[in-house]
Structure 1
Amino acid sequence: MLRYIVRRLTSGVVLLVAITILGFTLLYLGGGDIARKILGESADTATVEAKAQELGLNQPLYVQFTSWATRALGGDLGTSWFSGQHVAEAITSRVAVTLSLVTGAIVLIAIVSVFLGVLAATRRGWIDRFAQLLAVVGHAIPGFLIAVGLVLVFALTLHWFDPTGYVAFTDDPAGWAKTVVLPVIALAFGGIANVTQQIRGSVIDALRHDYVRTLRSRGLPARRVILKHVLRNAAGPALAVLGVHFVALLGVAVVVEQVFAIPGLGQIAVQATALGDIPLVMGLLVAITVIVIIFNLIVDLAQGWLNPKVRLS
């Protein structure tokens, strides 16, 4: 197991290096005249050139990247060129907000998908048809439209929730729960549709195996066979799909946070990208990549525990 973890961590480090190099290159090529953006259009050429030299923008790409990477390895992600705030501080103050939404969505996806997927595979009938319809709707409607619809119905019409805003968990747990319910549902809707189909198909395949018929012939209750044996074999593919959805949810969260005016990573990501704030964008890129690597490692370990053959692949 230790060798398996080391292999996964090594591949994660390689991925992090590749993404940072690619991200820095794209920002450098598409950033435009960042010094003028900082100083404004009224700044004279000499002042702009002095600012570019101060920030190191007049140096070759590899020199800029090496300088940034050296500081990042030491724990210094720099400061925002536009706000002057430390990048690490800007990220840590918002990452918990985004992670609470994405984690809540993943948990909701897992619970609802397992429930619906197992029922659809074992009961069939109207539940199976409902799961099929849910899959079609989930693929057809993007997350931001779900978010807008939830606001219109549950916030503006029924007044069950506030349409926008965020309350920190440490300030008011009940208020926090009230502000994250709609965003979490909006994030989870498409994932529930996809993962339900994956679990349904995996359970149906598992039920056809000889060991299931053997267990049933020994008189084991159907519920025990499904929960203890069938779900264990069906969980591997479902975990892989959940890993993919976690990455996708980080992207969808950018839009959903804008709809609900939630101060997460999405808000500063949009602003920093539009301005060409390279230190802040690179800090966000590193933070999100590390989060994805850690989550995928957890998924890989769970799959390795469920199926020892995975550790040998």
Structure 2
Amino acid sequence: MLGFALRRIAAGAVLLFVISFLSYLLLSIPDADVGRQLLGSAAPQDLVDAKNAELGLDRAVLAQYGDWLAGAVRGDFGTSWFTGEDVLQAIATRLPVTASLMAGVTLVTAALSLLLGVWAGVRRGAVDRFVQVLGVIGYALPGFLVTLIIVLVFAVRLGWFPAIGYIGLTESVPGWLSTITLPVASLSVVSVAGLSQQVRGAVIDVLRQDYVRTLRARGLPPHRILFRHVLRNAAAPALTVLGLQFVALLGGAVLVEQIFGLPGVGAMTVTYTTRGDIPVIMGLVMFTVLGVILINLVVDLLIGWLNPKARVS
């Protein structure tokens, strides 16, 4: 298992380097006069040139990337060109908001998908068709429409939750729950629709295996067969889909944080990307890629633990 984990970590490190290089190269293509944006249109050209030189924008792109990479390896991602704020500090202040949102969506998705998928896989017939219809509806509805419906019903009409705003977990637990519930619900609908179908299919496939019929013939209780044998073998494909959905949720968080006014990393991405603030954008890219790599590593390790054959492949 250790060698399996080390191979995954090495592959993640290579991926991190490649994406950082390509991202910096692509961000440097637009011909934006950052010094002019910072100093204003009325600033003399010599001051603008001096500002660009101060930021290192008068040098070759590869030289700029080399300096950025040297700092990033030491944990220094620089400062924002427009606000002067340290990049890591800026991300760290907004990270708990996005982290709580992602954790809530992941827990809700995993719990509801497991419940619905196993229920549909074991109880064939009306229950199975009901879960499949829910999955189709969840897939068919656009994410922004689901979010708007949730806001109109539970925030505007019923008034159960606030429509916008965020209260930190350290400030008030009930307040945090009230402000995070609707964003989590809006992101969970599509995720549950997809993952529950995957769990259902995996459970049905395992239940058709010969060894399950053998266990039944030996008189083992159905709940023991389900929880000890069926779920363990059906978990691997579901975990793979859950990891892929986490990547998609990072993109969905940008829209949801904008709609609900959450001061998270998603909203920060929109703000600094429109400015063309390369140090902050690169920090956000690295944070996102690192999060994806860590999630995939955890998923790979769990699959390797559940299925030893996966460690070899």
Structure 2 length-normalised TM: 0.97
Alignment partner, residue 189 of structure 1: 189
Q: Deviations over 1:21-48 (max 9, x none)?
A: 1111111013622222222223232222
- Matched residue type, 2:111: I
CA distance in 1, matches of 2:147, 2:63: 43
- Mean CA deviation greater in 278-287 or 139-148: 139-148
- Mean CA deviation greater in 121-130 or 168-177: 121-130
CA distance in 2, matches of 1:44, 1:160: 55
List aligned pairs for 1:25-40, cutoff 5 A: 25-30=25-30, 32-40=32-40
- Mean CA deviation greater in 297-306 or 134-143: 134-143
Alignment partner, residue 266 of structure 2: 266
Alignment partner, residue 23 of structure 2: 23
Alignment partner, residue 257 of structure 1: 257
SS at match of 1:282: helix
Unpaired segments ≥5 residues, structure 1: none
Alignment partner, residue 121 of structure 1: 121
Alignment partner, residue 170 of structure 1: 170
What's the CA shift for 1:282?
0.5
What's the CA shift for 1:223?
1.8
SS at match of 2:28: helix
Q: Does 1:295 align with 2:295?
A: yes
- Matched residue type, 1:124: R
- Matched residue type, 1:132: Q
List aligned pairs for 1:135-284, cutoff 5 A: 135-284=135-284
Q: Does 1:3 align with 2:14?
A: no
- Matched residue type, 1:280: V
Alignment partner, residue 112 of structure 1: 112
- Matched residue type, 1:214: T
What's the CA shift for 1:8?
0.4
- Matched residue type, 1:224: R
Alignment partner, residue 90 of structure 2: 90
Q: State whether residues 143 and 256 of structure 1, in contact with CA within 8 Å, keep that contact through their aligned partners in structure 2.
A: no
CA distance in 1, matches of 2:152, 2:124: 34
SS at match of 2:187: helix
CA distance in 2, matches of 1:16, 1:225: 42
User: Which of structure 1's runs of 4+ aligned residues deviate more than 3 A?
Assistant: none
Q: State whether residues 144 and 259 of structure 1, in contact with CA within 8 Å, keep that contact through their aligned partners in structure 2.
A: no
Q: Deviations over 1:247-288 (max 9, x none)?
A: 111110010000100000011100111110000000111111
- Matched residue type, 1:192: V
Alignment partner, residue 305 of structure 1: 305
Q: State whether residues 87 and 279 of structure 1, in contact with CA within 8 Å, keep that contact through their aligned partners in structure 2.
A: yes
Quote the sequence identity (%): 50
Q: Deviations over 1:169-202 (max 9, x none)?
A: 0110111011111101111111100101111111
SS at match of 1:29: coil
SS at match of 2:29: helix
Q: State whether residues 31 and 276 of structure 1, in contact with CA within 8 Å, keep that contact through their aligned partners in structure 2.
A: no
SS at match of 1:174: helix
Query: Cα–Cα, structure 1 residues 4 and 31, in superposed 2: closer, same or farther, change >3 Å?
Result: farther
- Matched residue type, 1:149: I
Alignment partner, residue 58 of structure 1: 58
Query: Cα–Cα, structure 1 residues 152 and 230, in superposed 2: closer, same or farther, change >3 Å?
Result: same
Q: State whether residues 102 and 187 of structure 1, in contact with CA within 8 Å, keep that contact through their aligned partners in structure 2.
A: no
* CA RMSD across the alignment: 1.1
CA distance in 1, matches of 2:166, 2:143: 19
Structure 1 length-normalised TM: 0.97
SS at match of 2:76: coil
- Matched residue type, 1:222: P
Alignment partner, residue 48 of structure 2: 48
Count how many residue pairs are aligned between Structure 1 and Structure 2: 313
- Matched residue type, 2:26: L
What's the CA shift for 1:127?
2.1
Q: State whether residues 117 and 196 of structure 1, in contact with CA within 8 Å, keep that contact through their aligned partners in structure 2.
A: yes
Unpaired segments ≥5 residues, structure 2: none
